Amino acid sequence: MSSQKPQKPATKTVTAGRKASLTGPVVNVPVWRASTHLYENVAELEAGKGRNEDGRFFYGRRGSPTQWSLADALTEMEPGAHGTMLYPSGVAAIACALLSVLKAGDVLLMTDNVYDPSRSLADGFLKRFGVETRYFDPRTTDYDALFCDRTRAILLESPGSLTFEMQDIPAICAAAKKRNVVTLLDNTWATSYFHTALDKGIDMAILSCTKYIVGHSDVMMGSVTTHDKLWTKLRHTAQQLGQTVSPDDAYLASRGLRTLSVRMKAHETSAFHIANGCRRRPMSRPFTIPLCSIAPDTTFGNATLPVHRDCFHSSTPATRLPQRPSSTRCNCSALAIAGADLKALPCPCSPRNTGQSWHGISPAH
């Protein structure tokens, strides 16, 4: 038989990244700890400089089989991907992805429910280097109105951080491609297990692997996966900024990936159990639960995330929760963050949103 059935996501989490050229005769790639890589002669050393790709030994910053295996696995999880770069944190991944496509004078569009460090990066570092950031309502459907002649990139999150609004990713990508605008998605909440991004039109899929990929609250890591058109820019930017991850951390992330399917299903079950329990309590306010029938984002969610339901947001005031009295302007997000003993996270929504007023709060509540 020359052809095989496509692997399901759960199977990919177990088999991806296990090339025989990397594993040798064992199941998992061992930990290769090395800074200096040796060559038989000077000619091989010189030849190595011209082969800037995973699988080619050169120097510790470019990785070893331990890092290459993890990068391969994350690439295999994204249909249509050319490669994956690894970073020491999710924030580093976001920053390097943006820096690979932006320059002074460009406009960056950023969804208003973006991860707070992404906002800090845009309002601080990128602004100092001449990049203007414009925020937009994550639930807008007037996509054409977002862009201007200087727009070069758009950073999306779906679900968005802590408030979990969904976006119509394929429609936004279609509008962006008409204008040659690079689309980046922070896909941390869904991962490529629940939401493959590149086949929906996204150019760069970003993960904070710290959360679900690692899954045990003991490693910081980020990744960016992209297609061949942007691969060289992404790789060179990461290398020029000295981005690398340790082989020990890469090994732990690979081990976490193997149980991703089991953990995500457990998160989904737990999140729905908690959400349904909260809905029956008189103190509860409106919820945002991706893909749940009571959420306003269900249509977008069903179009892009087949089963992702592992987090939700309630506009229940934090003053009705047992916590410090000073947190009077917060609402509550219940997060199924992998490996973390975190049941609920109070989050101040009003100061976060500059492009729109948060939909879950109004005087009527």
Predicted confidence at residue 302, as pLDDT, reads 44
Among 87, 115, 135, 251, which one carries the catalytic annotation?
115
Predicted confidence at residue 268, as pLDDT, reads 80
Per-residue pLDDT reduced to its tens digit, 28-38: 888 889 888 88
Nearest in space to 176 (alpha carbons), one of 238, 128, 108? 108
Q: Cα(288)–Cα(219) distance, rounded to whole angstroms?
A: 29
Does residue 211 carry a catalytic annotation?
yes
Predicted confidence at residue 45, as pLDDT, reads 80
Predicted confidence at residue 90, as pLDDT, reads 96
The pLDDT-based confidence of 161 (bands split at 50, 70, 90) is confident
Phi, psi of 162 (to 5 degrees): 75, -30
Q: Cα(208)–Cα(214) distance, rounded to whole angstroms?
A: 9
The pLDDT-based confidence of 9 (bands split at 50, 70, 90) is confident
Is residue 231 within 8 Å of residue 101, measured between CB atoms? no
Which of 14-18, 67-71, 190-194, 256-260 has the least mean pLDDT? 14-18
Is residue 183 within 8 Å of residue 201, measured between CB atoms? yes
Does residue 61 carry a catalytic annotation?
yes
Q: Cα(106)–Cα(108) distance, rounded to whole angstroms?
A: 7
Predicted confidence at residue 52, as pLDDT, reads 77
CA-to-CA dists, residue 246 to 17, 66, 219, 281, 346, angstroms: 17, 9, 10, 46, 33
Beta strands in 227-330 (DSSP E): 287-288, 311-314
Asked if residue 365 has pLDDT above 50, the reply is no
Asked if residue 232 has pLDDT above 80, the reply is yes
Asked if residue 318 has pLDDT above 50, the reply is no
- Dihedral sign from CA coordinates of 18, 23, 29, 35: negative
Asked if residue 351 has pLDDT above 60, the reply is no
Q: Cα(127)–Cα(60) distance, rounded to whole angstroms?
A: 33
Asked if residue 274 has pLDDT above 80, the reply is no
Q: How far apart are the first and last CA of the chain?
A: 62
Predicted confidence at residue 347, as pLDDT, reads 61
| Bridge partners of residue 287, in order along the sequence | 314
Mean local confidence (pLDDT), 44-70: 79
Among 62, 152, 211, 263, which one carries the catalytic annotation?
211
Predicted confidence at residue 362, as pLDDT, reads 33
Is residue 126 within 8 Å of residue 133, measured between CB atoms? yes
Q: Which amino acid is at 149?
A: D
Which of 3-7, 83-87, 154-158, 177-181 has the least mean pLDDT? 3-7
Q: Which amino acid is at 327?
A: S
Predicted confidence at residue 32, as pLDDT, reads 86
The pLDDT-based confidence of 293 (bands split at 50, 70, 90) is very low
Is residue 349 within 8 Å of residue 365, measured between CB atoms? no
Among 33, 61, 177, 343, which one carries the catalytic annotation?
61
Per-residue pLDDT reduced to its tens digit, 241-255: 999 999 999 999 999
Architecture of domain 64-257: 3-Layer(aba) Sandwich (3.40)
Percent of the chain with pLDDT over 70: 76
Could you identify the residue written with the tokens 């509540």? Answer: 365
Asked if residue 325 has pLDDT above 50, the reply is no
Lookup: tokens for 247: 């082989």
Among 54, 106, 186, 203, which one carries the catalytic annotation?
186
Give the helix/strand (H/E) hosting 85.
Answer: strand 83-87
Lookup: tokens for 8: 């399901």
Could you tell me the residue ranges of all domains in the chain?
64-257, 260-352
DSSP code, position 150: T
